[in-house]
Amino acid sequence: MSSADDGNPLLEGLRLRRSPDACAIVIFGATGDLTRRKIFPALYALALRRLLPERFGVVGVARTEQTAKQWIAEMKQAVREHARDPFEARVWRELADGMRYVATDFAEDEGEDRVVEALNDLDRQHGCSGNRLYYLAVPPAAFETIVNELGERRSTEGWIRLIVEKPFGHDRASAHRLNGILQQHFTENEIFRIDHYLGKETVQNMLALRFANGIFEPIWNRQFIDHVQITVGESIGIEGRAAFYERAGVIRDVFQNHLLQLVALTAMEPPIDFTADSVRNEKVKVLRSLHTPGPKSVVRGQYARGYIEGEEVAGYREEPGVAGDSTTETYLAAKLYVDNWRWADTPFYVRVGKRLPRRETTIAIQFQRAPHPPFAEIAGEGLRPNVLLIHVQPDEGVSLAIGAKVPGAGMSIRTVHMDFLYGGAFRTSLPEAYERLILDAMLGDATLFTRSDEVDEQWGLVDAIVAAWQRDRPNFPNYPAGSWGPPNANELIRRDGRSWRRH
């Protein structure tokens, strides 16, 4: 706190963390994988660091018939397995004391009554003051029913906020429809569409890097940048999510959301401040100006059998639940352009895929070559353009590739990396994205959440790409697991006289 809020002079200068209001969080899909792997470990981490409100409770809602005691034990085990911190019984006891469970089909009125009862109980016993954060960790099919129920039963006491997980729609029309359902009952500032990439420290550091350092912004444009490469690679396959993946493919699973958010953060203009609307206004301008120059600038792929870290892995069509002749893409590379004054004619090469050799998310800003290196040709053999490399994951940090003289006689130049590693400079473990995002939602700060018009623009680009795919049948599979994608992805960038970054 930096000012004498509410006329209280004792507040001034007190370095207290922003503390959320007393509230209850209601998790729909309380027995699901997301709740076990991400949401509860995040709540535990927040509890351990005393970032949750003192008056707080959790209501878990799911179809599974079990007692509250059983659900609490299940969540305790999930925290033990997935939390980034050692388990502390005292912290867990405090959290578990405010946990309730309701087994219900989301469509049942009687079940919704019991959710309300559980919340009223938390208000009485834990002083949650009627404030509600609803977390929809459910498949899209359950979404409409729950939103309508919540909207019809919304209380006038306290605030209400709604966290919505991806996928937010299947195309532009379905996203429109979902937004319509939400906006029937909730205002835009009550809706928190989660894209967990935005909760990552390194993604937020992109804003710090660009707008807190005077040296980058003057050269962050078409005059100095040759092109941008963004890679979102995963070494894992579809991990039993065939039903979802067959419908979504990589374009809806990752490209539409995480990857386009990275493009937007890289290309956006400086916001006037770091408020939710200012940041999102700038991002949406980028998304609105994005285009791909045509079908030849998009390459899709699907992995075949291959090797990852020495282990043979199945091809996509061999995965359980996947059709033997599936044409779902697991890889996508594209050349995108941002049609504005800053970026005109500067390509953004993006690639995203499953079963690539390693898990890696990077943004590489490749600058123009030095116009006239005064060294003899032989000296510059190893000289490459400067690259600013933002490691989103793993090895979170920033590297700058520069040319340096090799010690000794003559003038031999080599590329060396200057590294900033998060783990090196800041010796605290990075918070998980969900910790930051859940806390922000409790605080009512939507800066790191996606606004309806952003989603709309993202789907606009996806729809255009998918429309072109309707006209041809891909020759899948076309890349072996453990490779960096199909050969024509290399061709896509080689045509422009460039190449993907070496790995």
By CB under 8 A, name the binding residues for other proteins. Answer: 6, 8-16, 50, 54, 394-395, 419-421, 423-429
Question: Shortest gap between Cβ of 497 and other proteins (angstroms)?
Answer: 34
- Cis check: omega of the bond before 477, within 30 degrees of 0: yes
Q: What is the DSSP string of 125-137?
A: HH--TT-EEEEE-
Q: Which is nearer to other proteins, 120 or 393 (CB)?
A: 393
Question: Shortest gap between Cβ of 418 and other proteins (angstroms)?
Answer: 10
Residue the block writes with tokens 């809806």:
252
Q: Which stretch of DSSP H or E encloses residue 416?
A: strand 413-421
Question: Shortest gap between Cβ of 320 and other proteins (angstroms)?
Answer: 31
Q: Which is nearer to other proteins, 2 or 187 (CB)?
A: 2
Q: What is the DSSP string of 337-402?
A: EE-STTTTT--EEEEEESS-SS-EEEEEEEEPPPS---S-GGGGTT----EEEEEEESS-EEEEEE
Question: Shortest gap between Cβ of 395 and other proteins (angstroms)?
Answer: 6
Question: Shortest gap between Cβ of 5 and other proteins (angstroms)?
Answer: 10
Is the distance from CB of 275 to CB of 447 less than 8 angstroms? yes
Tell me if residue 410 falls in helix, strand or coil: coil
Is the distance from CB of 331 to CB of 300 less than 8 angstroms? yes
Question: Shortest gap between Cβ of 272 and other proteins (angstroms)?
Answer: 25
List, in order, residues 6 or more apart from 212 with CB less than 8 Å away: none
Question: Shortest gap between Cβ of 427 and other proteins (angstroms)?
Answer: 5
Question: Shortest gap between Cβ of 12 and other proteins (angstroms)?
Answer: 6
- CA dihedral for 474, 475, 476, 481, sign (positive or negative): negative
Q: Which is nearer to other proteins, 244 or 420 (CB)?
A: 420
Maximum alpha-carbon separation in the chain:
84
Q: What does the block give as tokens for 256? A: 């539409």
Q: Which is nearer to other proteins, 91 or 364 (CB)?
A: 91
Task: Write down the catalytic residue from 258, 391, 417, 503.
Answer: 258
Mutual angle of helices 140-152 and 172-185, in 10-degree steps: 20
In one-letter notation, the amino acid at residue 79 is V
- Cis check: omega of the bond before 271, within 30 degrees of 0: no
Q: Which stretch of DSSP H or E encloses residue 178?
A: helix 172-185
Instruction: Say how many C-beta atoms besides its own lie within 10 A of residue 167's C-beta.
Output: 17
Q: Which is nearer to other proteins, 50 or 414 (CB)?
A: 50
Q: What does the block give as tokens for 375? A: 């060294």
Q: Which is nearer to other proteins, 46 or 286 (CB)?
A: 46
Cα–Cα nearest to 135, from 112, 164, 107:
164
- Confirm whether 391 is a catalytic residue: no
Is the distance from CB of 52 to CB of 133 less than 8 angstroms? no
Apex 244 CA angle, 238 and 249, nearest 5: 70
Q: Which is nearer to other proteins, 12 or 108 (CB)?
A: 12
> Residue 265: exposed, middle, or buried by beta-carbon count in 10 A (0-12, 13-18, 19+)?
buried
Q: Which is nearer to other proteins, 145 or 393 (CB)?
A: 393
Question: Shortest gap between Cβ of 381 and other proteins (angstroms)?
Answer: 24
Distance CA 96, CA 114 (A): 19
Q: Which is nearer to other proteins, 9 or 214 (CB)?
A: 9
List, in order, residues 6 or more apart from 237 with CB less than 8 Å away: 303, 313, 314, 316, 319, 354, 355, 481
Q: Which residues are catalytic?
A: 258
